Amino acid sequence: MSTSNFTASKMPALYIGHGAPPLLEDARWSGELGAWSSALATPKAILVISAHWESAPLTLGTTDPGVGLIYDFGGFAPKYYNLQYPAPGAPELAARITSMMGEPVTQQPRRGLDHGAYIPLMKMYPDANIPVLQMSIPTYDPQKLFDIGRKLAPLRDEGVMIMGSGFLTHGLAFLTEFQIDATPPNWSVEFDLWAKEVLSRGAIDELMNYKSLAPGMPYAHPTVEHFAPIFITLGAATNAEVAPDTAIDGYWMGLSKRSFQVA
* 7 domain-assigned: no
* 249 domain-assigned: yes
CA distance 178 to 74: 15
* 24 domain-assigned: yes
Amino acid symbol at 159: G
Quote the number of domains for the chain: 1
* 72 domain-assigned: yes
> What is the model's pTM?
0.95
pLDDT, residue 8, reads 64
- 134 in Cβ contact with 50 (< 8 Å): yes
- Domain of 73? 13-262
pLDDT, residue 178, reads 86
Closest by CA position to 195, among listed 141, 163, 234: 234
Instruction: Give kind and range of the element (H or E) at residue 50.
Output: strand 45-54
* 215 domain-assigned: yes
* 8 domain-assigned: no
CATH number at residue 238: 3.40.830.10
* 98 domain-assigned: yes
CA distance 71 to 225: 18
CA distance 10 to 8: 6
* 206 domain-assigned: yes
Mean pLDDT by 10 residues, the chain (263 residues): 50 96 96 98 98 97 94 94 97 97 93 98 98 98 98 98 98 92 97 98 97 98 98 96 96 97 97
